[in-house]
Every structure is written in structure tokens, then in C-alpha cells.
Structure 1
């Protein structure tokens, strides 16, 4: 079934002739998992009779350093501005030569340029995949633009600084505006799911910053009388996810807490290799799997494409929900069901204990997507 795991803000319809989507392969295993997701997405659109996707390949990452002298060419950003959605593969910025290694990552640059304020990260257990929390089915809604991450909380410069060589300091930023819009995204999502939101904070210690976040979320919650809301301290929430993760529906939190909790939830539900992610604003969205570029297995046909496939399905849902081709939502449903059935049948890559290669897993999912 379609999970509706993304904020829906209809503003501009996709053209009926085709659906243009940016395609940024990225680094490492991106060269394997992004094409796999692309083929499966095309098969799903064809199976439901939707308008075809026009993929727009764009340079990014290590390849772009070779061709453009930078991992994030301005020409790519200009092209992205003309698109409603795009798929971004993982980046391996640690392998970039200086001075690029220490700069903002390609994903971070895109996120800041287009104000992708909502990071939507589902954590769902699949039959056939061993999980600590086999009944988990939740979504973490992470505020993506401020908080305590140094690359996200300043207009210019960094939120980290050193007044002396022996003292390092960091600035955290929480605003009412950012808290309100991420809270609306969470409550709208919960109203389409099981109707429960958990606000995660640390107001017993960070009383002004995360206290403001907590209070604004509760204020927004009053506009959604059909949604139950509760609060948890982040440390308690981590324990609750381990002990009774199946009880949670939508979890909304600030940037750093959301990053940590979503990785934890991904592992508890099975693996980060099955954890999709969508970064969205009110007008644009980017599918980007939660895991990294895994350079140690790149090019060996061993990577798990599940998270990238499901992230692309999330993008289809988002595009469909905001006035695009309704068939994209149907295609997303086919993709999600095909992935679930494939895993349940025991077809999985090595990281999940299976024997399938990247290509074999993708071929099996494609065949299931095309079944009438």
C-alpha cells in the first residue's frame, strides 16, 4: 500500500506529456543503485500506464570534479531549479581531493540551495528481513535546516568555531518558523497514517532551544484535533525505540536528534540498507537513501539498492500528491509492494544475509513490478 511518507503541498502540476526528474548518480555504489532504481521506476510507470519519466542526468560528486572542477557544478544547480524532483545517489566526500573534502557536501549544498526543510525517513520492518523490532512501522520527520549542525544554522560561515586552539564552540539555532513548518509536515502525515505524533526534544537541559521546538509543535498540534500528540526526551525516546518501537507512528524532532534516531530506527527495523529518505520543501523534493556510498564494495555488484528504490517511490508519491501524474502514486505502490514481496520471498543482497547480487535483486523487483 502507498505509505504517503512525505509532505503534500500541491502548487504546480507536472506536464502531462512527461515527468522530468533529475538524476544524480553520486559516488561509490551510487553508480549501481541509482540506475537500478531508475529501471524499476520506469517499469512501474509503464505497468500502470502513466506518462513516461524523462530522466535528466546531471553531474555531481567525484565525476563532476573531473569534468567541472567542483563536486557541485553551478550548471547542475541551475538545472535542478527547473525541476520539481530529483534522485540523488550517495556521496563519498571523504575521497574528494582538497579543498573539496572539507567543504559542504553535494547533498548539503542542494538542501540549502532549495530549502529542503523536511527530511522524511520511514523505518519499516519487512517480512523476510531479520529485525530487532519486527513490527516497526514509523516515520521520523526531521527538521532539516537548523538545530545544532554547523553546516545548517548560519546564513554564512560555520556554526562551529574555535576562539583558542584549545576551545571549540558550537551554536545551535531553533526558530518558530522552522519549527512550525516541520510540525505541520508531521501532523499532516500522521493524519494520513495512524494519527499519532511524538515530539522529541531535550527541554530539561536545552530549555530555550528544544523547549521552543517542543512548545511550537504542541501549538501546531492543536490545529489537528484528530491527531494524538505526546512528548519524549531524546534519550528516553532512544530507549523506547529499542524496547517498543512498534508503538510509534510519526516522530518529529530537530535536526541532530532526527539524524541519530532515524539511523537507530533503520537498524532496529532491519537495516539502513532498507531505509529510504526524502528531503522536501513546499515545492521541490529529493530522493536520497539514508546510507552512504560504501566505497569498499563499489563496483562489485554487491550493494543493496532497496533504500534507493524505496526513496524513488517516495518521490513518486510526493510528485503525484502535489498535482503531478496520479499514476505516479500507483507506480509507487507497485514498487513498494514488489520490494516487500521480493524480500519476503528470501531474495536479498549479502548485507541482509541473502545471495542476490545488486543486479539480480533489481531484476526480481522489476519482474514483480511488471506483473499484471
Structure 2
């Protein structure tokens, strides 16, 4: 099983190094047979090759089973014509890693705003309001005059259908509840299409209860009582916001694991939910939990999709050990208090 490892920017190298110690321990303990290759992305790639993400890196990634991707400092990259490419978007769109799976749960031994929560947000990751992933050529964001800026949104039936299916399949393994989040009262065509596709898929899963919330109401209900929700499915932009909110309600963005996956191609990418935090890099205080849990999710996903119980066991054991470590105040990073 081949894994591409790319630390990327900011605290990325630090938390990637910590994550790889854990992954290698699991590799030995569960006889996973993992092989790792390291690849430069972000500023390291820009310095060497003149771009933050090479096409060669993407093509090489297609030959791997999994990817461990550190956080990026996208806001600090130069313009695209000077080599500044969104690394995360590049992997997601070019490798068609459409399902961004973002769990959030409360741990009783950590301070959290939410009292009870154990949910998963299924985020469609390849289209939506993001201007770097909704056009064949050019950008979905542009300025026709110096004082007017426009942004386009792309929603397709295909993308909505497959993220909905992923959500319902996951719900069947959990508590059989799916919440679709939208703004179809205003975005009648785009969110209307999303909601239509979700309902079509729901008809194939009569055991799963479906309800839907408008995005602004959903944010309020998540704060009020997150325990009501099981699997939440929504479009790219809404899910980006809701998943950060849910993670912070659980105690910290530093606790939020995440994978980007394509069940059809079998490729999965582990990626921390938080950013590159350059203000604390090289201080040995960054919390590696998010990337470690993302790697655990990657192993579990590979185990489930390929029928490898030792991979599923390795992922579960990493999660258990992380909880054991987090339960001890002396071994927590400062963002956890």
C-alpha cells in the first residue's frame, strides 16, 4: 500500500512528522505494509519548481492508495500566473476527491461548548462557490469593472447525487438520520437542484430519516443542540463553514479529522481541517491531533473499501490512543487549555 506524504506549509512539516510517527507505529503493529514517498507542495515546491503544485505531483498521486496532505498557506501564495496554485483544491478537483468527510464529536474529558455531539458532515468538494473549481478555463470570480466583483456558483446533478449517496451510505452505518442543508428559498435553481437530488437518493434508503434545514437556521440549531444531528450533507461552501463551527463546538479546530475520498477510484487523502498557522510554526506547540485523526480515518477508509480488517483496526486504535492522550491534561497542547 503506497502513501504519498506532502507536509506543505506553516506548521505542516511539524504536524506531518508527528503524524508519520503514529502511522509508522500502526504500520508495524498491524502489519499494514505501508510504503511512503515524500513530495513537495506549497512554498517548498514554489522555491524548487516555480509552482506550489506541479502537474507531475498530481499525476504521481494517481498511482498511490492514499495521500497525507499538510495544511497550506494559500492566502500568502503569489498570483496563479506566478505559480500560486491552491494545493488543496488542486488535489480535490484534479483527483476528483469529491467526498470531504468531516466528523465532529464531544469528548467528555475536554472543555467544549457543545455538551453532546457526534456527527459527520459530508461536504461536496469539487464545485460550488469556489472560483478555482467551477470553470473549465478561467476563474469563476471576476471584475467586469473596477468597482464590481462577481462570483459564479456551479451545482451539478451528478455531484449532488454522489455526495448524497455517500451521506446515506454512511448514515446506514450510524444512526440512520440525514440532514440536508441548503438555501433553496433564495437559491431556487442551484440549491433546489441539490435538494432534488438528495430526495431522489433518499427514496433508495427508506430506513434513513431525511430532514432539511436552511443554512442560517442550521447554524443556529447546531449551536443550540448539536446532539440532534447524525449525518449532515450539503454543498461545498455551506459545509466549509458548518464543519469549522462543529469542530469548534467540540473543543477546538485542532481536534477535527478530515478525509477527501472517491469511492469509485479508491483514492483517499488525509488532510487536517485547520490552516497552516504560520504564526506558531517552529515553536513545537502546534496541535497535530487533526492530521493524526485524519490519517486514522484514511486507514479505516482503505480498510473498509478494500476489505482489509487490519487497516480498520489500525484506524480505530489510533483514535483510541489519541483519546487516551487527550484525556491527560499534561499531554495537551495549549489550544485545548
After TM superposition, the score normalised by the length of structure 2 is 0.95
**1:107 alignment counterpart:** 88
Say if 2:132 is the partner of 1:148. Answer: no
Q: Which moved more, 1:179-188 or 1:313-322?
A: 313-322
Distance 1:343 1:143 in 2: 30
**1:287 alignment counterpart:** 270
The answer on whether the counterparts of 1:20 and 1:55 sit within 8 Å (CA) in structure 2 is yes
How many pairs were matched up?
334
**1:80 alignment counterpart:** 61
**1:171 alignment counterpart:** 152
Pairwise CA distance, 1:101: 7.4
Say if 2:11 is the partner of 1:29. Answer: yes
Pairwise CA distance, 1:71: 1.2
Residue from 310, 327, 332 that aligns with 1:327: 310
Residue from 262, 272, 276 that aligns with 2:243: 262
Say if 2:51 is the partner of 1:67. Answer: no
Distance 1:245 1:74 in 2: 41
Distance 1:319 1:56 in 2: 18
What SS does the corresponding residue of 1:296 show, helix, strand or coil?
helix
Q: Deviations over 1:300-344 (max 9, x none)?
A: 100000000000001101111121643111000100001111112
> In the TM superposition, what are the counterparts of 1:192-211 in structure 2 within 5 Å?
192-211=173-192
Q: Deviations over 1:332-360 (max 9, x none)?
A: 0100001111112223101111xxxxxxx
Pairwise CA distance, 1:74: 2.7
Say if 2:336 is the partner of 1:352. Answer: yes
Distance 1:67 1:163 in 2: 35
The answer on whether the counterparts of 2:19 and 2:291 sit within 8 Å (CA) in structure 1 is yes
Distance 1:101 1:122 in 2: 36
Give the direction of change, closer, same or farther, for the CA distance of 1:263–1:228 in structure 2 (3 Å limit).
same
Pairwise CA distance, 1:43: 0.9
Ranges in structure 1 where 5+ consecutive residues have no aligned partner: 1-18, 354-372
Pairwise CA distance, 1:201: 0.5
Distance 2:84 2:177 in 1: 39
The answer on whether the counterparts of 2:160 and 2:197 sit within 8 Å (CA) in structure 1 is yes
The answer on whether the counterparts of 2:52 and 2:85 sit within 8 Å (CA) in structure 1 is no
Report the RMSD for the aligned CA atoms in angstroms: 1.5
Structure having greater relative contact order (Cα 8 Å, sep ≥ 6): 1
Say if 2:112 is the partner of 1:134. Answer: no
Q: Deviations over 1:249-301 (max 9, x none)?
A: 00000110000111111101111000011111122111101100110110110
Ranges in structure 2 where 5+ consecutive residues have no aligned partner: none
Give the direction of change, closer, same or farther, for the CA distance of 1:70–1:103 in structure 2 (3 Å limit).
closer
Structure 1 stretches of 4+ moved >6 Å = none
Distance 2:47 2:252 in 1: 33
Say if 2:227 is the partner of 1:220. Answer: no
Give the direction of change, closer, same or farther, for the CA distance of 1:98–1:104 in structure 2 (3 Å limit).
closer
Distance 1:188 1:98 in 2: 40
